[in-house]
Amino acid sequence: MNDPRIHQLAEILVDYSTNVKKGDIVFINATGSECLPLIKEVYSLCLARGAKYVEYAFQFPEIDRHFFNNAGKSQLSYFPQHKLDFMKQVSVYIGISATDNSMVMAKANQRNMIAWSKLTRPIVDWRVKNTRWVITRYPTHGAAQEAKMSLEEYEEYLFAACCIDWRAESRKQEKLKQLVDRADKVHIKASDTDLHFSIKGLNGIKCDGRYNIPDGEVFTAPVKDSVEGYITYNCPTLYQGKEFSGVRLEFREGKIVSATSPGLDRELNNILDTDQGARYIGEFAIGVNPNIREPMRNILFDEKIFGSIHFTPGQCYDECDNGNRSAVHWDMVKLLKGDGEIWFDDTLIQKNGIFVHKELTELNPKD
Considering only CA atoms, which of 241, 217, 242 is closest in space to residue 312? 217
* Residue 297: per-residue pLDDT: 81
Q: Assess whether 61 and 175 both reside in one domain.
A: no
Q: Assess whether 207 and 337 both reside in one domain.
A: yes
* Residue 147: per-residue pLDDT: 85
* Residues 39-68, mean pLDDT to the nearest whole number: 96
* Residue 92: per-residue pLDDT: 98
CATH number of the structural domain spanning residue 145 = 3.40.1830.10
Where residue 106 falls among pLDDT bands split at 50, 70, 90?
Answer: confident
Where residue 94 falls among pLDDT bands split at 50, 70, 90?
Answer: very high
* Residues 214-232, mean pLDDT to the nearest whole number: 97
Host domain of residue 287: 166-363
* Residue 126: per-residue pLDDT: 96
User: For the chain, what is the domain count?
Assistant: 2
* Residue 323: per-residue pLDDT: 96
* Residue 1: per-residue pLDDT: 53
pLDDT at 303 over 60: yes
* Residue 346: per-residue pLDDT: 92
Q: Assess whether 155 and 180 both reside in one domain.
A: no
Q: Assess whether 80 and 227 both reside in one domain.
A: no
* Residues 333-362, mean pLDDT to the nearest whole number: 96
pLDDT in tens, 179-199: 999 999 999 999 999 999 999
Mean pLDDT of the chain: 95
Q: Which of 162, 194, 215 is the last residue of a domain?
A: 162
Q: Assess whether 118 and 249 both reside in one domain.
A: no
Give the chain as a 3 state SS string: CCCHHHHHHHHHHHHHHCCCCCCCEEEEEEECCCCHHHHHHHHHHHHHCCCCEEEEEEECHHHHHHHHHHCCHHHHCCCCHHHHHHHCCCCEEEEEECCCCCCCCCCCCHHHHHHHHHHCHHHHHHHHHHCEEEEEECCCHHHHHHCCCCHHHHHHHHHHHHCCCHHHHHHHHHHHHHHHHHCCEEEEEECCEEEEEECCCCCCEEECCCCEECCCEEEECCCCCCCEEEEECCCCEEECCEEECCCEEEEECCEEEEEECCCCHHHHHHHHCCCHHHHCEEEEEEECECCCCCCCCCHHHHCCECCEEEEEEECCECCECCCCCCCCECCCEEECCCCCEEEECCEEEEECCEECCCCCHHHCCCC
pLDDT in tens, 260-300: 999 999 999 999 999 999 999 999 999 999 999 988 888 88
Q: Assess whether 280 and 344 both reside in one domain.
A: yes
Q: Which of 132, 162, 192 is the last residue of a domain?
A: 162
Q: Assess whether 304 and 283 both reside in one domain.
A: yes
More confident residue, 160 or 99: 160
Q: Assess whether 144 and 268 both reside in one domain.
A: no
pLDDT at 56 over 60: yes
Q: Assess whether 113 and 187 both reside in one domain.
A: no
Q: Assess whether 208 and 99 both reside in one domain.
A: no
For residue 177, give the amino acid letter: K
Q: Which of 162, 193, 217 is the last residue of a domain?
A: 162
Q: Assess whether 262 and 174 both reside in one domain.
A: yes
For residue 248, give the amino acid letter: R
Q: How many CB atoms lie within 10 A of CB 235?
A: 22
Give the whole-angstrom CA distance, residue 204 versus residue 182: 9
Q: Assess whether 208 and 304 both reside in one domain.
A: yes
What percent of the chain has a predicted confidence (pLDDT) above 70? 100
pLDDT in tens, 305-339: 999 999 999 999 989 999 999 989 999 999 999 99
pLDDT in tens, 249-258: 999 999 999 9
pLDDT in tens, 117-169: 999 999 999 999 999 999 999 999 998 988 889 999 999 999 999 999 999 99
More confident residue, 68 or 300: 68
* Residues 103-108, mean pLDDT to the nearest whole number: 86
More confident residue, 222 or 298: 222
* Residue 148: per-residue pLDDT: 87
